[in-house]
């Protein structure tokens, strides 16, 4: 493997660079569309056996669990069963080195009686957050997904349900292959149906023209017959019928062509007016043709049009819907649900280990009335205890927002840089690589430190580190 690639890697790198240049020149960069809450999948994509709609961050979280499980299975299978085997190399070896390093690191911080529990907690949180954070570096994450109109859910008081509408108030119904959109006031008409309607209008107009011609011929014939009849007295109609027919054929040239053209135009004008009325109500027919053309739309004809994401409200374009990509997978740590859950788990574990180590006496850390009447400064102790209580709940917020803010801001940086410099956003990927590690480490480390602090008795250790800073 190695010898095969020797000396050829540079060509692979060159090829990648050239394809990057080609893609950057060929494909117009898509303006990043940024949304803080995890995006909901279109209707019909529920979490299996429930009514809850999938979100793309949830999909990412599931992928994280699966990867973590695979990782655990792999590592435990590769682990040498006794000390005499040749140690396995490769990825396992790297992980073992990392594991031992972190074990020593945590041992230096919390190497007491509860080391095992604290280290297990640290390592679990570290791996979950690390895998979740690094997913933003994988190509396709945050970029490949459904094409759909820029929508939000709006409460409709009349029917007491949430409707999916675009920012401009278009109601969304599910169509073939994802979404079609219609205005609330009109039905969705596909371009094919539109063309068919045009064709039938044309047929109707031609039919109207020939009908008008026939009418004109019949009128002319009748007028001629009437004139003949008036002129020649009370003849039987049968007598003159033959003459009338010959004169009909003769009279074809004298049919009023303006009148037939007017009939033709009238029918077509009806169709045009119908189309214009639909346009005036904001009903367009349109489809995005491919994922690269999100933002492009075919408005009625084959002409392509670039629709800005925030069009001028008075313009025609505002009636068209901005199309955005709803990624299949978005980094799990950019959703507050994920980070808040991790924060709550940390919080619960901190309290659990506190009770486990100190029993019911752990509560005196928060409700410290023991010195209230014994010492002149007892009131301060009570206040400090209450502050600690508040500070413990603030930890949840601080944990969850720290991770969310860092990773969300990081993915925005990646979007914007890929938009500004499509060829070389590599430095920012490297930056995000390190931010991912550091945030995972900080999350796990703070959990470990707080868990260690919770095991230390308040009374016997007065000089412990008041690191809470809250």
Partner 1 sequence: MDPQSTIILGKAIGAGLAMIGAAGGGIGIGLSVGGAVQAMGRNPDHTATIQTNMILGVAFAEAVAIYALVVSLIILFVLS
- The residue (of 71 and 428) whose beta carbon lies closer to partner 1 is 428
Q: In what order do the strands lie in the sheet with 151-156?
A: 151-156, 161-166, 171-174, 179-182
- The residue (of 189 and 336) whose beta carbon lies closer to partner 1 is 336
Measured distance CA(86)–CA(84) in Å, rounded: 7
Q: In 315-424, which ranges are E strands?
A: 323-327
Window 409-438: residues binding partner 1 (CB under 8 A): 409, 412
Q: Does 108 bind partner 1 (CB under 8 A)?
A: yes
How buried is residue 323: exposed, middle or buried, by Cβ count under 10 Å (0-12/13-18/19+)?
A: buried
Half-sphere exposure at residue 236, Cβ-oriented, CA atoms within 13 angstroms: 3
How buried is residue 440: exposed, middle or buried, by Cβ count under 10 Å (0-12/13-18/19+)?
A: buried
Q: How many CB atoms lie within 10 A of CB 417?
A: 19
- The residue (of 177 and 469) whose beta carbon lies closer to partner 1 is 469
**CB 441, CB 126: distance < 8 Å:** yes
Q: Does 307 bind partner 1 (CB under 8 A)?
A: no
Task: Report, in Å, the least distance between residue 150 CB and partner 1.
Answer: 11
| Torsional class of 93: left (φ above 0), alpha (ψ -120 to 50), beta (otherwise) | alpha
Sole binder of partner 1 in the list 402, 416, 429, 431 (CB under 8 A): 402
Task: Report, in Å, the least distance between residue 111 CB and partner 1.
Answer: 12
Binding track, positions 162-181, relative to partner 1; x by CB under 8 A: -----x--------------
Q: Does 268 bind partner 1 (CB under 8 A)?
A: no
- The residue (of 11 and 155) whose beta carbon lies closer to partner 1 is 155
- The residue (of 109 and 262) whose beta carbon lies closer to partner 1 is 109
Total H helices, total E strands in the chain? 11, 8
Measured distance CA(358)–CA(361) in Å, rounded: 6
Q: Does 445 bind partner 1 (CB under 8 A)?
A: yes
Measured distance CA(225)–CA(246) in Å, rounded: 11
Q: Does 150 bind partner 1 (CB under 8 A)?
A: no
Binding track, positions 28-57, relative to partner 1; x by CB under 8 A: ------xxxx--------------------
- The residue (of 147 and 453) whose beta carbon lies closer to partner 1 is 453
- The residue (of 331 and 446) whose beta carbon lies closer to partner 1 is 446
- List residues binding partner 1 (CB under 8 A): 34-37, 105, 108-109, 152, 167, 310, 312-313, 398, 401-402, 404-406, 408-409, 412, 441-442, 445-446, 449, 465, 467, 469
């Amino acid at each position: 493997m190695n010898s095969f690639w020797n000396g050829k890697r540079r060509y692979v790198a060159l090829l990648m660079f050239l394809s990057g240049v080609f893609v950057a020149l060929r494909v117009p960069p898509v303006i990043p569309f940024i949304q803080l809450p995890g995006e909901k999948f279109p209707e019909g994509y529920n979490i299996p056996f429930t009514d809850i709609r999938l979100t793309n961050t949830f999909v990412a979280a599931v992928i994280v669990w699966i990867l973590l499980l695979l990782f655990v299975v792999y590592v435990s299978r590769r682990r040498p069963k006794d000390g005499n085997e040749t140690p396995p190399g490769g990825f396992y070896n790297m992980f073992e080195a990392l594991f031992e390093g972190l074990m020593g690191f945590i041992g230096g911080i919390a190497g007491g009686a509860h080391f095992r529990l604290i280290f297990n907690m640290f390592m679990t949180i570290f791996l979950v957050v690390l895998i979740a954070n690094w997913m933003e570096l994988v190509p396709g994450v945050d970029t490949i997904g459904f094409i759909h109109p820029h929508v939000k859910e709006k409460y409709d008081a009349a029917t007491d349900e949430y409707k999916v509408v675009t920012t401009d108030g278009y109601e969304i119904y599910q169509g073939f292959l994802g979404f079609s959109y219609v205005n609330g006031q009109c039905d969705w008409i596909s371009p094919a149906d539109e063309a068919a309607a045009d064709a039938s209008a044309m047929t109707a107009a031609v039919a109207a023209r020939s009908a008008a011609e026939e009418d004109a011929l019949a009128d002319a014939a009748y007028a001629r017959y009437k004139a003949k009849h008036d002129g020649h007295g009370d003849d039987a109609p049968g007598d003159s019928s033959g003459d009338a027919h010959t004169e009909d054929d003769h009279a074809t040239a004298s049919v009023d062509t303006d009148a037939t053209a007017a009939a033709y135009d009238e029918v077509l004008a009806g169709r045009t007016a119908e189309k214009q009325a639909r346009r005036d109500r904001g009903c367009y027919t349109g489809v995005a043709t491919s994922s690269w053309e999100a933002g492009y739309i075919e408005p009625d004809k084959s002409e392509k049009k670039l629709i800005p994401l925030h069009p001028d409200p008075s313009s025609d374009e505002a009636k068209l819907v901005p199309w955005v990509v709803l990624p299949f997978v978005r980094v799990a740590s950019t959703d507050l649900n994920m980070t808040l859950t991790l924060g709550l788990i940390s919080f619960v574990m901190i309290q659990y280990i506190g009770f486990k180590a100190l029993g019911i006496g752990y509560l005196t850390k928060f409700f410290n009335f023991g010195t209230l009447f014994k010492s002149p400064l007892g009131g301060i102790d009570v206040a400090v205890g209450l502050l600690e209580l508040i500070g413990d709940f603030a930890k949840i917020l601080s944990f969850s927002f720290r991770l969310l803010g860092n990773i969300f801001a990081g993915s925005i940086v990646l979007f914007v840089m890929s938009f500004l410099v499509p060829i070389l956003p590599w430095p920012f990927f490297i930056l995000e690589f390190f931010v991912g590690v550091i945030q995972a480490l900080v999350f796990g480390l703070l959990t470990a430190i707080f868990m260690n602090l919770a095991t230390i008795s308040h009374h016997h250790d007065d000089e412990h580190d008041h690191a809470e800073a809250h």
